[in-house]
Every structure is written in C-alpha cells, then in structure tokens.
C-alpha cells in the first residue's frame, strides 16, 4: 500500500471533528492560487473566528438565532 493510501485510510478513521481540524491545518498549509493575496483579510478573519469558536464554543449561536438576527437586521418577515 502506498504512503498516500495509508494516510488516507488513517485520516478516514478519525472522528469528524478530528478530520475537520486536519482539513483546516491542510488548507492553511497550501499556497494561495495565482492572483489571490496570501494575506487575504477575509480568509484570515474567517480562520481567526473559527479558531476562537473552537476555543470558546459558548460564543456560538444556533442557526435559528442567526436566522432571526438576519431577518431583523434586514427587515424581512418570517
């Protein structure tokens, strides 16, 4: 079995949470595609918020609360 196949087998045996963590690390290790600034503020902010939420899950809100806030902000009716 090739090293890549062995790694894939091991990775797929991880829990969903462990795989998600690994995906984040792998994505951060890649070079940005041509024309995309590697210091993109939006991506950096999204990664920062993701890490913050992992450290403090109580900061999160439910999808229902998010929906309510968006509707209130834009004046949309339920």
Residue 10: phi and psi, rounded to 5, are: -65, -45
Per-residue pLDDT tens over the stretch 2-43: 999 999 999 999 999 999 889 888 888 887 666 666 566 677
Q: Per this entry, what is the length of the chain? A: 78
Find out whether 60 and 53 touch, Cβ atoms under 8 Å.
Answer: yes
For residue 48, the model assigns a pLDDT of 84
pLDDT of 44 strictly over 80: no
Those residues whose C-beta lies under 8 Å from the C-beta of residue 1, and which sit 6 or more positions away, are 9
Tell me which of 46 and 69 has the higher pLDDT.
Answer: 69
For residue 39, the model assigns a pLDDT of 63
Q: d(Cα 30, Cα 11) in Å, to the nearest integer?
A: 18
Those residues whose C-beta lies under 8 Å from the C-beta of residue 57, and which sit 6 or more positions away, are none
């Amino acid at each position: 079995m090739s090293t890549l196949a062995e790694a894939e087998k091991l990775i797929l045996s991880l829990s969903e949470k462990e795989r998600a963590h690994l995906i984040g690390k792998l994505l951060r290790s890649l070079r940005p595609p041509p024309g995309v600034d590697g210091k993109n503020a939006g991506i950096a902010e999204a990664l920062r918020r993701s890490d913050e939420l992992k450290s403090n899950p109580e900061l999160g809100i439910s999808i229902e609360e998010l929906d309510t806030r968006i509707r209130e902000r834009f004046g949309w009716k339920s």
